[in-house]
Amino acid sequence: MARTNERSQRGGHSGVSIEDVAAAAGVSTATVSRAVRGLPRVSPATRQKILDVAGDLGYVASSSASGLATGRTKTIGVLAPFVSRWFFSKAIEGADRELHARNYNLSLFNLGGHGSNRERLFSKTMVYKQIDALLVLCMALTHEELEHLQKIDIPLVVVGGHVEECAYIGIDDYAAASTAVRHLIDLGHRDIALLHGDDETDLNFDVPRVRILAFKDVMMAAALPTRPEWDEWGDFTVPSGQAAFRRLWSKPGAKPTAIFCASDEMAMGVIFEASRLGVRVPEDLSVVGIDNHDFAEAVGLTTVGQRPDEQAELATKMLLDELDGQIGSVQSAVAPHELIVRRTTAPPQS
């Protein structure tokens, strides 16, 4: 490389290395390394001196250098299909809590909005040799992507959805959806519509399917019909819920008295649109969602709540424990969900 041989070329604080500290403290770099990392084999006096010197020299170890030497980057990757949707942003916050507490960095890989060159993530830019472990926020992975991840055998856990052969943390979607639907039925509803999540985009996976299945099973178990014309879909967003309601309500024929939505954002979409069209909630239509979105309480939305932040936090903890040598820490776990009854559900009118 042959740079200038002199230190502190740049005027500032920028380039203080372990050697500078060693020199200033009159010890070897090895001792500085031990001292600053809190390792044993350094006398209290020496350590203190080194810490002082390091302190006012503003020394911080180069992550690249220590990464090279140790093989650890001290950062974990978080792979998400979106960051501005509730589930993901909450999960990211949760992961960050644990990472921050344990002095790791969080490298965010957003798969959304990148069109097709998604694969680049898996080969060059990303993952590979940049991170010590990977947290995947629910989404489908292609078979190829999976293989890729498997090859670089770093700890890996997925939150919020199932990926074959991977540890996952998440609620029991079947049970959660069943709870929501059963709540409607217990209220006396018989004409229940379904607003299910989209099945088609490659960013989704089987959560939508499971929730649909639960809906149908519960309805069937209650000997209630499920009408195809009351089966709408959305992509988990508010606008898609809004559009779905508009479609549903513009159809000729009888109207349902309740609707089960596969996410709170979609549920809010139907509520907003219902209000706009003069359809009263819950008098004319009961609405239940899944998630307990930050806005759900303000909207009065009845929902089955989950805590993506806690799920991601737990997942991250597992990852970090595994890295700390506690092998076997990474394992699947089911997270709790809970029915939260608010003001958007009520017995059907008459």
Partner DNA sequence: TTGTAAGCGTTATCAT
Partner DNA sequence: ATGATAACGCTTACAA
Task: Give the SS3 label for residue 101.
Answer: helix
Which residues within the stretch 146-175 sit at the binding site for its own copies (CB under 8 A)? 151-153
Binding residues for its own copies, rule CB under 8 A, total 67
d(CA 177, CA 215): 7
Dihedral, 219, 223, 224, 225 alpha carbons, nearest 10: 100
Task: Find all residues with CB under 8 Å of 315, minimum gap 6, and list them.
Answer: 95, 135, 157, 158, 159, 169
List the single partner that 250 binds among its own copies, DNA, none, CB under 5 to 8 Å by kind. none
- Give me the least distance between CB of 40 and DNA, in Å please: 6
CB of 118 to its own copies, least distance (A): 10
| The one among 37, 227, 280, 343 contacting DNA by CB under 7 A | 37
Helix (H, G, I), strand (E, B) or coil at 147: helix
The smaller minimum CB distance to its own copies, of residues 46 and 130, is found at 130
Whether residue 312 contacts residue 287, with contact meaning beta carbons closer than 8 Å, is answered with: no
Considering the complex, what minimum distance in angstroms separates the CB of residue 71 from DNA?
7
Amino acid identity of residue 16, one-letter, is: V
User: Mutual orientation of helices 86-101 and 308-323 as an angle, nearest 10°?
Assistant: 40
Q: Which of 69, 78, 33 is closest to 316 using CA atoms?
A: 78
Q: What is the DSSP-derived secondary structure letter of residue 235?
A: -
256 close to 285: Cβ distance less than 8 angstroms? yes
Q: Is 66 in the site for DNA (CB under 7 A)?
A: yes
- Restricted to residues 290-329, the positions that interact with its own copies (CB under 8 A) are 294-295, 297-300
Burial 178-192 (b: 16+ CB within 10 A, else e): bbbbbbbbebebebb
71 or 228: CB nearest DNA:
71
Binding its own copies (rule: CB under 8 A), the pick from 86, 205, 233, 260 is: 86
Using the minimum distance from each CB to DNA, give the nearer residue, 33 or 292.
Answer: 33
Round to whole Å and give the CA distance between 114 and 116.
Answer: 6
Interface residue with DNA, options 23, 57, 61, 224 (CB under 7 A): 61
- Rounded distance between C-alpha atoms, residue 87 and residue 276, angstroms: 27
For residue 216, the minimal CB distance to its own copies (Å) is 28
Q: Which of 197, 208, 234, 269 binds its own copies (CB under 8 A)?
A: 269
Q: Which of 62, 142, 332, 349 binds its own copies (CB under 8 A)?
A: 62
Binding site for its own copies (CB under 8 A): 1, 10, 12-14, 58, 60-65, 67-69, 73, 75, 82-84, 86, 89-90, 92-93, 96-97, 100, 103, 105-110, 112-114, 121, 123-126, 128-130, 151-153, 237-239, 241-242, 268-269, 272-273, 275-276, 294-295, 297-300, 343
Which positions touch DNA (CB under 7 A)? Answer: 1-3, 5, 15, 17-19, 26-31, 33-34, 36-37, 40-43, 45-47, 59-62, 64-66, 68-71
